[in-house]
Chains A and B, each alone.
Chain A
């Protein structure tokens, strides 16, 4: 996992719970006190440890924490200079989701060690779509749900998401079924 993700985790905890809580989480996870380097690859286990420690320290369910982190990620990436690239992906939620995989493929060029997830958007109607989420990393579906919520905020729409986790109905990937509840103004 690139340092950007760990930085997002740190920022999220510090923004919501303060520096002291972060330090406790870091110590609990046995992570050294040093800044994360955005372009450096850290072991996935470090991120999982931090998430585990955060859940323990904050008394939160892992899915809830990851979902919130997903919401935060959208804003964080945008603020860290990726806003333009995100805008490049489209003017609406579904356009964005349809370009999501191409976006990941493009970004992967500059993150040679990135093992990005893969997305496919199907059954797109003006009010609904299905996002297919392929990842070798387990347990991040709640994070993707949080990402969808964050994106919905970004595009000012209210959505409802239901999931068909990997394994259900013999599927080899997770599916997120999105239904738009109300449209906001297009950004």
Chain B
């Protein structure tokens, strides 16, 4: 059977369901059943070229050539279904057989062509091929999926890496991560910076860690220790924090070691380095500060213990002596105990003063008061204040002031004095032989300022080097040595240092044990072009001389303290060590005030006052104001003080303010007129006349020599000179006065028994301003005073209406009550002066004035009423000055009343 190749038609259909047979004309003579699924309208007789296009062997072959070339591989493109038929040709006679199957490239084509397994011959590998294609597609899908997962993982890793990188670069720690093989897995810039590595951190990754460690070892103070510590950490693989590593450049690093395990598996480790140089320094400073604080606390404790001791010791003495004083004692014992009491109380007072001063400095309550002052004068003052103590210890007190020191500079004189006194006191205290020295030297002098070095040095025991800084700290005292007890608060130098710092400088110290110490500081003072401030007017004469005070005090320390206080306030102070000396001085010289301690050897203050008052009562001398000082605050002492004629009575401890207030109130500020006359009676009359003419005080000199010696020293405003004097004549006296320094300006009026132009000429020639013949009337005296002393606006320090004249209109009915009335008015004078003291009880002044106003006339004393009226007004106006003035007027008025009454009685 042609065209079936022995298979028979059914066999051919089963074995090759896509077969096709053509004849020599190229017409289809037979086709397989599955080919019909691809080309459903294929008919027997159709031309091959109508249903298919030859792709292989060669598209241009004609049918004859196909027959000749068979068997041959063929590919036919079936027209209309886009399917390639692939297989081989087989020629048999005039039939050509195409044995093939569809060439599928995708499994989907099976569905597109609606082909099923049954459409293929069982031996056809096309299905296998399609299955393989599907496997390939599955693998491709896998590959795509894995590639996507990989890309995602890579992206994630990159993000993680950049996060880590950002974190690492911002970490303040040097980080080095090693993998399990000891290679660098990760590091950061901080690590590179820490170890001065120039390369970027990424460049280190992969490097060998042990090599890196060996290379870094020389950076460490202990390279071998550094390496062995690494080895130890790696051996034990236990997390360790804060290994401390010191570098040769001074830095200190802290290192943590963190081994990394995954489950049980060691995966490497992490080193974290921190630069703790600053932190440790801070810690050290903190420790140092703590030590200092503890030291300060200790010093404070020691200070409290010392203060307790320092206070208890004198307090014990005070208590003990107070008990003793309550018992029967001999006058000598009593005096001795009182002196000791005073000394101990003074010591206590000084202690308290120092602590208070320190406390004010600590709380910044101290302000500097910068005023013009004389540095040379200040240094001299300081020297003088310590002179006695130095002398008592047998020390030479040297003093040096640079000749170039400006006359006046600006600064806080009092605070500077405090510093220098403190330094010099220490110098004296700690020097047992040799000298102490205070100096002021000009370091620089400019047109507007000067730098002055103030220095206090000594040849004392010196200060150990380890104490030289500490002694300026609070509560620190030099340790006691075998021969000297430490004493004082330990605050003196702290106060000095603080004050000098406030003045813009710093105290420096140079000292060697056994050879002495030197403290100095340099102050920049602006120059003061204006003159030194005038002392307060009420304290001085217009010619600039100070009021003069006699201070009777046996205790040298008290004497010093009081002298300094008074001198600083601008007074001239003369001192007497006991009552007898004071009496002699008071008799010989003209003081404006006497301040007397009550307890003194030889003659106490009460006796001194009594003797002076008696003297005044029987001589032309003016009444000397007396202020008593006492450690006794008992009422009977106060009464006794008043009884003997003291004007004021202050009890110790005496504050500077209280002292000055009392002094200001009582110092005799009246201008002085010296009466030179060898007749005591004549002098007494003239003196009374002079004092009645105004606020003027009469001084008496019994001969020319005394007048010359005293007139200028006593700062008199006028000399009334008798002609016929015992010894030096009036004319000679006038000449001698004129020759004295400052004597040329002194008004001298000759009051003599001679008369006439001749006498006037002679006295003028001798230097007198004018000549008046005796007897002189009150009007003449007043005229003279008004021209030379009481010139309004010229020299009267307290211009005020003249005190009321004494006009007595005594009512006989009350005459027996007059002495009592006058005594009460005397008491009023004291009350008035007390009332204007601290605080000022001006209501009391008004009340006193009001009573006087109302009662004066009733007793016949119109002047008392007038003064009362004035006092009432001054009290209402709270005018301290006026009240003071009026109290003096009242006192003089009472003197005059009593004098008149006395005259009448006689």
Chain A residues within CB distance 8 Å of chain B:
3-4, 35, 37-39, 80-82, 84-85, 87-91, 99, 102-103, 106-107, 109-111
Q: Is the beta-carbon distance between B146 and A106 smaller than 8 angstroms?
A: no
Select which of A4, A38, A80, A106 is within 8 A of B131 by beta carbon. Answer: A106
- How many angstroms from the CA of A85 to the CA of B108 in the assembled complex? 8
Segment of B46-54, B111-119, B723-731 in the binding face? B111-119
The SS class assigned to the A binding surface is helix
CB distance from A154 to the nearest CB of B (A): 14
- How many angstroms from the CA of A106 to the CA of B132 in the assembled complex? 9
CB distance from B265 to the nearest CB of A (A): 16
Contact with A along B358-371 (1 / 0, CB 8 A): 00000000000000
Q: Is the beta-carbon distance between A110 and B141 smaller than 8 angstroms?
A: no
CB distance from A114 to the nearest CB of B (A): 10
Contact with A along B119-141 (1 / 0, CB 8 A): 00010000110111011011101
Q: Which residues does chain B contribute within 8 Å of A99, judged by CB atoms?
A: 117-118
- How many angstroms from the CA of A109 to the CA of B145 in the assembled complex? 24
Q: Which residues does chain B contribute within 8 Å of A109, judged by CB atoms?
A: 128, 131-132
Q: Is the beta-carbon distance between A84 and B107 smaller than 8 angstroms?
A: yes
- How many angstroms from the CA of A145 to the CA of B603 in the assembled complex? 144
Q: Is the beta-carbon distance between B141 and A38 smaller than 8 angstroms?
A: yes
Q: Which residues does chain B contribute within 8 Å of A91, judged by CB atoms?
A: 116
Q: Is the beta-carbon distance between B117 and A102 smaller than 8 angstroms?
A: yes
Q: Which residues does chain B contribute within 8 Å of A35, judged by CB atoms?
A: 142, 145-146, 149
- How many angstroms from the CA of A114 to the CA of B454 in the assembled complex? 113
Contact with A along B593-622 (1 / 0, CB 8 A): 000000000000000000000000000000
Q: Is the beta-carbon distance between A106 and B127 smaller than 8 angstroms?
A: yes
Q: Which residues does chain B contribute within 8 Å of A90, judged by CB atoms?
A: 116-118
CB distance from A37 to the nearest CB of B (A): 5
Report if A106-B135 is in contact (Cβ < 8 Å); known contacts: A88-B110, A91-B116, A99-B117: no
CB distance from B408 to the nearest CB of A (A): 97
- How many angstroms from the CA of A64 to the CA of B137 in the assembled complex? 32
7 interchain residue pairs of minimum CB distance: A84-B107, A110-B135, A109-B128, A110-B132, A38-B138, A110-B131, A38-B142
Q: Looking at chain B, what size class is its interface with the partner chain?
A: 20 to 34
Q: Is the beta-carbon distance between B108 and A4 smaller than 8 angstroms?
A: no
Q: Which residues does chain B contribute within 8 Å of A111, judged by CB atoms?
A: 135
The SS class assigned to the B binding surface is helix
- How many angstroms from the CA of A111 to the CA of B131 in the assembled complex? 9
- How many angstroms from the CA of A68 to the CA of B145 in the assembled complex? 26
CB-nearest residue of chain B to A40: B142
- How many angstroms from the CA of A109 to the CA of B149 in the assembled complex? 29
Q: Is the beta-carbon distance between A81 and B110 smaller than 8 angstroms?
A: no
Q: Is the beta-carbon distance between A84 and B111 smaller than 8 angstroms?
A: yes
- How many angstroms from the CA of A106 to the CA of B131 in the assembled complex? 7
- How many angstroms from the CA of A28 to the CA of B621 in the assembled complex? 130
Q: Is the beta-carbon distance between B134 and A82 smaller than 8 angstroms?
A: yes
Chain B residues within CB distance 8 Å of chain A:
107-108, 110-111, 115-118, 122, 127-128, 130-132, 134-135, 137-139, 141-142, 145-146, 149
Q: Which residues does chain A contribute within 8 Å of B115, judged by CB atoms?
A: 88
CB distance from A120 to the nearest CB of B (A): 16
Q: Which residues does chain A contribute within 8 Å of B149, judged by CB atoms?
A: 35
Q: Is the beta-carbon distance between B132 and A89 smaller than 8 angstroms?
A: no
Q: Which residues does chain B contribute within 8 Å of A89, judged by CB atoms?
A: 116-117
Q: Is the beta-carbon distance between A87 and B146 smaller than 8 angstroms?
A: no
- How many angstroms from the CA of A88 to the CA of B111 in the assembled complex? 8
Q: Which residues does chain A contribute within 8 Å of B122, judged by CB atoms?
A: 102
- A sample of 24 cross-chain residue pairs with beta-carbon separation below 8 angstroms, ordered by A number, consists of A4-B138, A35-B142, A35-B146, A35-B149, A37-B146, A38-B142, A39-B138, A80-B138, A80-B141, A81-B107, A81-B134, A81-B138, A84-B108, A84-B110, A84-B111, A84-B130, A85-B107, A85-B110, A87-B110, A89-B116, A90-B117, A91-B116, A106-B128, A110-B135
- How many angstroms from the CA of A10 to the CA of B127 in the assembled complex? 29
- How many angstroms from the CA of A39 to the CA of B131 in the assembled complex? 13
CB-nearest residue of chain B to A82: B134
Q: Which residues does chain A contribute within 8 Å of B118, judged by CB atoms?
A: 90, 99
CB-nearest residue of chain B to A91: B116
CB distance from A74 to the nearest CB of B (A): 16
Q: Is the beta-carbon distance between A39 and B135 smaller than 8 angstroms?
A: yes
CB-nearest residue of chain B to A96: B117
CB distance from B139 to the nearest CB of A (A): 5
CB distance from B123 to the nearest CB of A (A): 12
CB-nearest residue of chain B to A7: B142
CB-nearest residue of chain A to B142: A38
- How many angstroms from the CA of A163 to the CA of B445 in the assembled complex? 129
- How many angstroms from the CA of A37 to the CA of B147 in the assembled complex? 12
- How many angstroms from the CA of A75 to the CA of B470 in the assembled complex? 96
Q: Which residues does chain A contribute within 8 Å of B116, judged by CB atoms?
A: 87-91
- How many angstroms from the CA of A106 to the CA of B497 in the assembled complex? 111
CB-nearest residue of chain B to A107: B131
Report if A110-B128 is in contact (Cβ < 8 Å); known contacts: A81-B134, A90-B117: yes
CB-nearest residue of chain B to A109: B128
Q: Which residues does chain A contribute within 8 Å of B131, judged by CB atoms?
A: 85, 106-107, 109-110
CB-nearest residue of chain A to B109: A84
CB distance from B516 to the nearest CB of A (A): 90
Q: Is the beta-carbon distance between A88 and B127 smaller than 8 angstroms?
A: yes
